Amino acid sequence: MPVKTAHYAGFIYIAYVREERTDLAKFRDAMESVAGTYDGKRDVVVDVTRCASLVSAEIGIVAKLVAVIEKTGRCLRIIALGQVKKAFEESALTNKSCVVVYPSVQSFIEEVKKSGGQPAPAPSDRANARVIRMEGSLSGATVKDMVAQVESALRSTHSRVVIDLSKVKYVDSLCIGQLMYLDGKAKKLGKPLVLACPPGQVLDLFRDASLDSLFEIVSPTM
């Protein structure tokens, strides 16, 4: 079966693999059906991990659904590997604030499990989120700067605070302690504190210390 569509409480799931030329039309029909009935209450997940490549027409089909979703504040989550993931990146679709790409099915499943059956919010699809982007090493003065920015965001009217760690290569024990302090403060105020952290050394550190069960950690938009 080239196209499979399933509806879950937290998202609509579409899996696609092109086995014959006519499968492209089936994919278009399935995506247009979702777009035509989309109510903006759930994210949409497009799983193309079984595709070895995508042609421009298939990218265009996805782009049309993105145009529908981005008006709602929800998110299109793409699970793609290798050359297919690269094709999406080259199309600039991944620059859209409502698009999140997962490098494997497992990374998506882990996020769903941690967030109770639906994908955790991505830092880029927050209409009223304050995103704080950090770089390099988080230690000493840079940690103080991070704390100051987060505390300022928590005092603001933003409903959610996201610390984007995409470009952070190292965090020390002081940073971890301050993140725990900020997380506790955010929870008391009822404003979720989210860490956007890609696979790598920093995420491995959080997992080794079992901090991924304490913090809300999501994959940043790739």
Tens digit of pLDDT at every position of the chain (222 positions): 899 999 887 889 999 999 888 999 999 999 999 999 999 888 999 999 999 999 999 999 999 999 999 888 888 999 999 899 888 888 878 778 788 888 888 888 877 776 655 665 554 444 567 889 999 999 888 999 999 999 998 988 777 889 999 889 999 989 999 999 999 998 888 888 889 888 888 988 888 888 877 888 887 753
Do domains 3-114 and 123-218 share one topology? The answer is yes
User: What is the pLDDT at residue 115?
Assistant: 60
User: What is the pLDDT at residue 140?
Assistant: 85
Question: Residue 50: which of 114, 6, 111, 4 has the closest Cα?
Answer: 4
Q: For residue 71, give every residue at least 6 positions away whose Cβ sits within 8 Å of its Cβ, in sequence order, or none.
A: 40
Q: Which CATH architecture has domain 3-114?
A: 2-Layer Sandwich (3.30)
* Torsion sign across C-alpha atoms 10, 33, 85, 99: negative
Residue with tokens 């880029």: 124
Q: Which CATH architecture has domain 123-218?
A: 2-Layer Sandwich (3.30)
Tell me the domain boundaries of the chain.
Answer: 3-114, 123-218
User: What is the pLDDT at residue 125?
Assistant: 42
pTM over 0.75: no
First to last CA, the chain: 29
Whether 216 and 192 have beta carbons less than 8 Å apart is answered as yes
Please give the helix or strand (H or E) that residue 66 lies within, else none: helix 56-69
